[in-house]
Amino acid sequence: MVATQQKPFVFITTRTPIMQRRTFLKISAFALAAAHFPAFAQSPKHSSYAIPAALQNNPLLDFSDLPRFSQVQAAHVVPAIAFLIKEYRQQIEQLSKQPAPTWDSYYLPLADYGNRLSRAWSVVSHLHSVRDTPDFRTAYSQAENQYSDFDSWAGMHQASYRAFLQLKKQPALNVAQTKAIDDALLGFKLSGVALNAAQQRRFAAINKRLAALSTRFDNQVKDSRMAWEKIISNPNDLAGLPESALQAALESAKSKGKTGYRFTLDYPSYIAIQTYAKNRSLREQSYRAYMTQASAGKTNNSPVIDEILKLRQEQAALLGFKNYAELSLATKMAESPTQVLDFLNDLVQKVRPKAVQDLADLRDFAAEKGEPTELQLWDLNYLANQMKAERYSVDKELLRPYFPEQRVLAGLFDIAQRLFGIKVQAASADVWHEDVRFYRVFNQQNQHIASFYTDLYAREHKNGGAWMNGLIDRAKLSDGSLQLPVALLVCNFSQPVAGKPSLLLHDEAITLFHEFGHCLHHMLTQVDVAAVAGTNGVAWDAVEFPSQLLENWCWNADALPLIATHYETGEPLPAEWLHKILSAKNFQAGQFMLRQLEYGLLDFRLHTQTQHPANAATRVNASIQNSVAVLPEPAWARRANTFSHIFSGGYAAGYYSYMWADVLAADAFTRFEQDGVFNRSTGKAFADSVLAAGGSVAAMELFKQFQGRTPDATALLKQNGIL
């Protein structure tokens, strides 16, 4: 996913961690959340960039090169952000007085100041996600309040808005410049520039409150997850768990000064119990804890959700939209809420029969093995793994030794080189944790074109899940220098244990490919306007297109050998096992697709409602479970309370984007299948259209440039064994 972090309104790209995301202006809460800016070129030489003596040593104010992550402390955050907001605000006021603003006299200088603030905020937001501590959290919250106030002010700044209207009339603007200005003008509209004074005050107050609630939601998910642990002393209670999971649990307990086996709600720990534990009671305890995170006591997100939904609806109404979904679609490919709901419901009708059959198959298998046939949700992963191992001789855990992290990365980089002509080389950089790695990217002429960091292991004080965020955008600055893009790739895989490297599940290898697809989108752009470079300015329901396309190479017989070799012997994945992996590709695919559709419907139904009584999310989810799911969740489950994508990650009224983009990706991959999965000219065609253009051209036009027609969902349904 693409990550979300708030970025300043003017001259900043707006993005969201692709899970947590981008446009040219921040567009307040509506600009789709997370921006990224230029690096590897110093900030332009402006005499007004003088930094007060008291801030001279603040690492957040050093824009000469890559961030000095290890030196950033909580005490640096508020002073740096306050200073950058002040200087940026002064420039907005000053530059907006120009009687005849032009791209060079107005846009570029203002963008430089926006980039300084955005660049610092990117570091702060990122550290809040991966190195959260009580003092840093407090500093982040204080700075976020300042940021939100400034963001609202900038989005409603009349003189700046008029300047953009004048820029729109400038002759000889190129495609990227025109798109950036159009996005900016839309951003002003969605930030309330046309509201009266009283409405603007209310709109700004809502913005500020929503920003705080989003952070609170995220913090409470994190705190709730970290608060739960289960210590098991009797190994017999852990029958079925693989040695790798047991060893990790032993080391986890040891790290806390405890004896026995320690399990948590970090995903690698949780999924090990759900997949392998023969102890049904243990699976239920783990599932209950996981599905009731952030639903009680001080970390209860239910009231947070209620308030977020009400405020979003109020904000949509202020802007003249019927509901928040309509507002959200103003920046997406989909044209109306009806189109999205029809899209989701049509897929439900096609997918549900396969999901019903998938569940029946599991029930029959349970009967064969003498397991309870009145299945519960905590039985599904366990039975599916047992059934898959028996029917296809594929056990996910037995495959781990063939997917060591470094081999998967090397194979991934090899595939990227074959397709797009790039080379990835490890390099040195200041990092925020000892496990972080840094890489530079070079083109065929051996020119340095981009860089990225990887932070791949789960740990405390780090958000769960996986995401890409742009740290720095490609951009041509006002002094003529070109800043190169830098990406952040974050996952939560199991750490190396007992002298072994991190051994990935095949599913985790797919996750790595997915997030690197986002990185490629960010890094291979050829657009020099940051607002529409890379993932910036891309319609939210198309931003998952490149990432989901890249997943296909993890399911290809020619590509898999490049990422799968035994970590001890170096032997390739046996041909027999390769065949079995591919044969089992669509095993339980109906259930997986239906589950994603349930999430999409929950999100979109919540945001098409105009009334949000208390616990609306729980009631809407119950309705969807009863009408769509083949095995409904228990009444006590609280799916929405950890649904970070839509309550703190930029996907509000947009979770359908995963399935929407899946249609694009599956269809586009048919060309690679036809031409050859390593066909360089096909890879170049994709890079030259979708990746190079970033957000400067409408996503549908880019798809048609590559595929020669509009997308068709047939390929997705065939790919998943539905047709």
Average pLDDT value for the chain: 93
Instruction: Report the b/e string of 218-251 with b at 16+ CB within 10 A.
Output: bbbbbebbbebebebeeeeebebbbebbbebbbe
Strand, helix or coil at 625?
helix
CB 96 within 8 A of CB 163: yes
CATH C-level class of 399-584? mainly alpha
pTM for the predicted model, two decimal places: 0.90
The per-residue pLDDT for 38 is 30
Looking at domain 65-194, which of 1.20.1050.40, 1.10.10.10, 3.40.50.280, 1.20.1260.10 is its CATH number?
A: 1.20.1050.40
With tokens 């019903």, the residue in question is: 356
Q: How far is CA 277 from CA 100, 235, 237, 281, in A?
A: 70, 11, 8, 9
Examine the pLDDT at 225 and tell me if it is beyond 80.
Answer: yes
What is the rounded (10 degree) CA torsion for 580, 583, 588, 593? 120
* Of 144, 397, 405, 515, catalytic: 515
CB 578 within 8 A of CB 345: no
The per-residue pLDDT for 325 is 98
Q: What pLDDT digit, counting tens, does each position of 228-262 carry?
A: 999 999 999 999 999 999 999 999 999 999 999 99
Q: Is residue 335 annotated as a catalytic residue, yes or no?
A: no
Examine the pLDDT at 587 and tell me if it is beyond 80.
Answer: yes
Provide the token pair at 92. Answer: 């907005």
pLDDT band at 4 (very low <50, low <70, confident <90, very high): low
Q: What pLDDT digit, counting tens, does each position of 388-435 carry?
A: 999 988 888 889 999 999 999 999 999 999 999 999 999 999 999 999
Lowest mean pLDDT among 134-143, 320-329, 574-583, 705-714: 574-583
Examine the pLDDT at 19 and tell me if it is beyond 50.
Answer: no
Provide the token pair at 183. Answer: 């996005």
The per-residue pLDDT for 48 is 56
CA 8 to chain centre: 19
Burial of 679 (0-12, 13-18, 19+ CB in 10 A): middle
Q: What pLDDT digit, counting tens, does each position of 440-481 carry?
A: 999 999 999 999 999 999 999 999 999 999 999 999 999 999
Rounded Cα gap, residues 177 and 26, in angstroms: 17
Q: What pLDDT digit, counting tens, does each position of 336-388 carry?
A: 999 999 999 999 999 999 999 999 999 999 999 999 999 999 999 999 999 99
Examine the pLDDT at 539 and tell me if it is beyond 80.
Answer: yes
Cβ neighbors of 381 (< 8 A, separation 6 or more) are 271, 274, 275
- Other CB atoms within 10 Å distance of the CB of residue 404: 22
Q: What angle do CA 108, 123, 59 make, to 5 degrees?
A: 90
How far from each other are the two terminal CA atoms of the chain, in whole angstroms?
Answer: 27
- Sign of the four-CA dihedral 206, 208, 209, 211: positive
Instruction: Report the b/e string of 103-123 with b at 16+ CB within 10 A.
Output: beebbbbbbbbbbbbbbbbbb
Q: What pLDDT digit, counting tens, does each position of 135-158 carry?
A: 999 999 999 999 999 999 999 999
Q: What percent of the chain has pLDDT over 90?
A: 91
Q: How far is CA 723 from CA 53, 554, 582, in A?
A: 67, 21, 17
Where are the chain's structural domains? 65-194, 228-293, 399-584
- Sign of the four-CA dihedral 672, 678, 682, 684: positive
The average pLDDT across 681-701 equals 98
Rounded Cα gap, residues 399 and 663, in angstroms: 29
The per-residue pLDDT for 49 is 75
Rounded Cα gap, residues 280 and 377, in angstroms: 11
Q: How far is CA 345 from CA 204, 325, 352, 542, in A?
A: 36, 16, 10, 19
pLDDT band at 2 (very low <50, low <70, confident <90, very high): confident
The average pLDDT across 55-77 equals 97
> Beta strand pairing status for 423-427 and 261-264?
unpaired
Length of the chain: 723
CA 231 to chain centre: 32
CA-based diameter of the chain, in Å?
A: 81
Nearest to 247 by CA among 509, 565, 500: 500
Provide the token pair at 158. Answer: 């009349």
β-pair partners for 231: 262
- Sign of the four-CA dihedral 653, 522, 438, 408: positive
